[in-house]
Structure 1
Amino acid sequence: MKKRSLTLLQKTFLAVLVVSIPLIIVFLYNYNKNTKYIKEDAIRDLANAESVYEGLIYQFLEKAENRVQDFSSDGYIKDEAQKILEGQKSSVKILSDYISKNKLTLDNAINTISIMSLDGKVLTSTNTSTIGNDFSSEEFFLRGKDGISAASSENGTSGLTEIVASAPLANISTGTPIGVIASFIHTSELNKVLEKTMTGEHDIEHGVLPLTEEKDDNIEVYLVNYNKRFIIKPVFVRDEVLNLKVDTLPVNKCIKSNEEFAGFYKNHRNVDVAGASVCLPQMKWVLLIEADTNNILAHTKEIGRNIAITAFIVAGIIAVLFTVFYEVVVKQIRKISVGAEKIAGGNYNITIPIESGDEIGMLSRSFNKMASDIDRRTTALEESEKNLNEAQQIAKLGSWDWDVVKNILYWSDEIYNILGLNKGEFTITYEAFINYVHPDDRELVKRTIHDALYNKKAYVVDYRILLRDGREKIVHGQGVVAFNDMDEPIRLLGTIQDITERKKMEMFQLELQRKYEELINSLNVGIFNVDVAGNILEINNACVSMAEAPSREELVKHNILDLLRDRNKFKEIVDRLSKGDIIRDEEIEFITLKGNKIWTSVSTILKKDKKGNTYLGGIIENITDKKAIEDQLKHSQKLEAVGILAGGIAHDFNNILSAIMNYGNLLLMKRGGDETTKKFAEQIVSASEKGASLTKGILAFTRKQVINPQVVDLNEIIERTEKILMRLINEDIEMNINLADRALNVNIDEVQIDQILMNLATNARDAMPNGGKITIGTSLYEINGEFIRTYGYGNPGSYAMISFADTGIGMDEETIKKIFEPFFTTKGLGKGTGLGLSISYGIIKQHNGFINVFSELGNGTEFNIYLPLTTQEAKERKPIEVITTISGSETLLLVEDNSLVRDTTRVILEEYGYKVIEAVDGEDAVQKFNKNKDNIKLIISDMIMPKKSGKEVYEEIKKISPDVKVIFVSGYTADQIKTKDISEDGISLLFKPITPNKLLKKVREVIDSPNNPKFGLKA
């Protein structure tokens, strides 16, 4: 039987009917729903109102706490409370009057203010009847000891329930607790605040607006304590009794479980109400706000009627709209739906008719365009897939897609080719794929896949696969993980590429590179590549070792300019190479990363890399030791030359000085009473002593003379030497002395330091032929690690520094390098020996000091001398010695080949009573001793003489008279005397020039000794 099809009108009517039935259901549902909403809104409104009252209560309590906190910070209250505790009874009334007058009047809500000791006893109060009461068990007291708080009390000052705000009192000096201050407030004050809000009165003081513009008599607000008694009665109910028990559901929930409640229940009058509660555990209160249920649901009937009318109207509109929608929309969409099904079936040539210009027509046009785009893109995709397969085949790279959840794996054709499989004979699974991985690499692949899926690490791995025929291939796997909304892995997509040939080539290249690097790094010679800006490109281990770098990576971070002693040297080399010069065995000084100086031999050429960039490639050899040996040899040769010269002139020079010194002393002896003669004679003696010191200085530099150090203040030396230096320089040269404002005690040979200053002054004078300025200064200087790294020498410690600067012509860098070398001079022929600064350098080194020089052409020169400070006290300067030695009458044999020395020595000895027999050489001495052997008590003999030496004379005379006593004197150095085997124990030896005082003392000492003592060598 054929089903009867309904007409469009019937369908429309049926649709309206169908729509109407739900409207009836909706009406009934909405009526109940609205009733429920009204109840919920009522509860919500009550809860909102309740939050306002809760805020008022907490605001009220906070105000009380702030007020009592202010009281507790009053220094006067603290001070008087401390006095009460200390037993001053008068302070009880004083403090009571003070808080009554100055604190109680600040807030009308406060009934009483009391101050308690730490044991809870009331010390004083605005209510004097409570003084002495014990509140130690009250919660407000216990809380107040620990901090600022508010609590409820039924045992307060008034006997009624009160709000008590309390705070600790601390000693004003030490800050230690001394008691508690509390303010007692009637709950009626809180009630007033709540009433103002309910009645619509604005309370600016509390900052709260009323709930409504008019009061609502249907709402009750009240507070109940944990004893279920009213704290504050309902605001608009005048006949409630405060001691009425409130045993309702919200109260019980707060008391038992501190649980707040909002809903419908029976109140304390057994009336159905909607209410909400707030638990105030701090105060042990429950805040309740309630409204009568009947009043809440009064508008329900009216709402129901309105809903019915609305539902009827809506149903009619729906019916009309449904009819229009069917005619205008549904029919058109059905046509589009048919066309869409055809497109989905793969017929992209379908065209949907466009019958209107509205949205339906736009939708039709969009479907037609979509069909055209899909047709075009499908063709392009097929072409792209074809190209992709060809590219994968060329690159030996296949793609795969693994559905982790369903364990479905897709491979592109190239993966089958890589594995040597036919597409139709292999079922693709994860497990099957793992079986083709080399057994030694399976765990690596599994772990990498697991880390990618569950640890979100990158899936990148190289591994081996094992083909069916036993061949191995190396493949590179790479992929990404897709996650769902739960952050769980659902797919792993990636590629596999056959890199077997590439790996073989890489291994071959790595092996070649390893052998090359082993060869390069085994060389003791450094190999380097540096670009023209000085950036280090490549180096071997020898370069790292030379530069004292911790690693090759660390050294590459530096520019070659950072290591060069002369930064301009690199530019010079680049310029020379650019001009075609050859750099071979170039000696260049470097500074290592540890600050040490090294000399290197560098050979380099210019090269270009593949990009056309120019760089320097070459080799470098550390020749520091070789350079040091060469320099040491040169220095030794120069020192030897100086030594030979010094030793050669020492004898004759010392003889001349001996004569000058003796004549000066004779003048002092003969004409010492004449001040002018005495002054000149002392200058002669002083000059001869300095001349002797000059000889010693030369010998000291060549290690042929010991120094005689004494602790002196360096400032005093500069002051005494100033006059001598002024005589050395020209009148057109200005000299300024800037001495430190403290003593600089140093252990030095004073005469030798004078010699240094004279050398520097002479050089400065010669450097300023047209006049200039010399500045000499002293200061305290600390040598530290930075100084040592900068100059390459020095020992940490405190030093006295002499700064000697001139404004002369200056020196260039090459001259500065050679300035301290023996025989090096910048002066013309015959104007300098080249020994002055060499001697100065040697003297300073013997004093464990240091010297450096700073100079530029045309800008003068400055020498800085560093001498170690000593903590010893400086010795007082001794005056020039005047002969005080006792005289004698013995007969002496004086053997001296120099007539001036012999004559002056004889005169001095005779002046003091000795009889002197003179001998001009060794043979003459032996003959005269034979003639006068019974009278001669002592022989004074030069060591080096013609015909017979002093030792030969002594040995021959000793055969005649074994007990003969002798004093040897010599102008040669002790080193020369030892070399000629002239020294012998048991004799006295004095070195020229000899002061008369020293000679006479030694003569007396030897004669008076019972035996010839072993004096050894004397300076």
Structure 2
Amino acid sequence: MVSVITLLITAYLSFNYGEQILRERANDLLIGESTARGNTIRLLFESQIDQNQILANESMIKILVNELNQTPENEFDKVRESKLGEFLTQIQAFQTRIGFSMGFEDVKIIGANGKVFFSLSKLTDNNFLHDPLFQKGLKKSTIDFEPTNTGKKMIIVSPIFVPDSKKDDEPIGVIISRMRTESLDSILVDRSGLGETGEVYIVSDGFLMLSESRFIDSVIFKQKVDTIPVQKCFREGKEFVGFYPDYRKIPIYGSSYCANDLGFVLLAEIEEAETIQPILVLQNRIFQTGLIITAVMTIIAFILSKSMSRPLIKLKNAANQVASGDFHIRTNITTRDEIGELSYAFDSMTEKLQRSLIEIKEKEDVIKQQEDILLQFSDHSEKYCVCMVDIMNSTKITAKLSESETSEFYNIFLNSIAGIVRNFGGIVIKNIGDALLFYFPVMSSEEESVLKKCLDCCLTLGESHDDIAKKLESQKLPVFDYRISSTYGMVRIAKTSTSSINDIFGNTVNRCAKINRIAPANRLIIDEEFYDSTKIFDDYIFKKIDSDVTAPEAGYSGYLVSRKNILDNIKN
């Protein structure tokens, strides 16, 4: 009887201990998810605000805004039109400096009187004086969201102050930037480790859901979330962990991360039924095991002597270790009786549980490895005009420059070239050392116009040498020459998770780099396939080049290209 009572007490304590462990694991999981993701989102928001503030602190933008604020009304439109290019140059230089991962889609620069001085998108209203975002921006930098047809956009607002402003100075304008939210969404949609009903989402200070729901479609800015943790955050500034009904009125167990200073609260939730299910399973298993062991002990107690107490104690101790999470334990009782059979069943159970845990761990490792894949290659090819601009003797030139001079040297070159490429509709892919790689996608229906656009762009790059030289001389930097090459043909597409611009590779890209080395200074060279597609154009003159690289036996041919009207002027 004492043994039976002891066993029942052990089973009860094991259940209570197991229940406590499972609840603590669920609690730790949700707190960890809400804290980690909440801190990540806070860092993301603060980083976006800081980057937008850096743009607002650009000295040239401050000067332009201050000048337009002081422009008379009858001259405003003319002066603003003349300054648009300078605003655009500053914004493009800023994007190049910080990279394009910030996700800018629109930037508006607004004066203190609410007039729009610059906008990347088309304006429907030139006066933002009464706009809520503009009024917020006059007070401090802030972050907000607005609904779109496909979800939402992030809005960063920052004040602009005069150069050398003091602490209590009034702002002279506001910068409103609209950005994509892929970085934010990637943090929230990852539901690994949250089971079948877990989800993580954020709610605005207007009690509206700002991210997608796992259970309801199209909820952004539509689903009201007036739950306990949301109320605690925005009314008391506190976080909450526990059971409560969610926005669907379903009982859940959740944890919140309160960021009321940034206007959001993050919630990590799992349905109550899923958190209790392991406890119920544990309860049933312990109850069934307890009944079996109790029955066996009761029968054996009347038949066997105290010699049976040792294997029973060993089995009880093993059960305690399993309840504590140690699945390596084995009883190894080999007696040919009920205790021996019970021991064999127990050891089989712990072995299966151990194998199951190992399989789960291996699957988690595979999933983690799959998440680390950053590059995916497409299965199709497209016809592109691939172009490359490469500085001649850059290593020798930059060896004599300081680190800051080298940075300014490449900044002038790359920004000048990239600006011309974009003006012709080209797409800049990346910098390769001191070279810039870009391309023009070619649709069969627009082949002739795109090929001419590509030729005109590359020829304009060569003709812009003197303008670039003047910029370098104004900064007391050495003047250099560069080579321009272009090829036409099929390329393979590579998509990366870190950029919205596709990478390209293949023989067409390789030929472009190959023939670039023999291009004369500030001149354009094209390959055989490009020449065959453009030799019928009347506006250009093509001259074949003989060299080791372009020899027929090497598989390449090169042609120098120039404008016919330029050569006609030289002859006249």
Q: Relative contact order: is structure 1 or structure 2 higher (C-alpha 8 Å, sep ≥ 6)?
A: 2
Do the structures match in fold with TM over 0.5?
no
TM-score, with normalisation over the residues of structure 2?
Answer: 0.43
TM-score, with normalisation over the residues of structure 1?
Answer: 0.25
Query: Which structure has the larger Rg over C-alpha atoms?
Result: 1
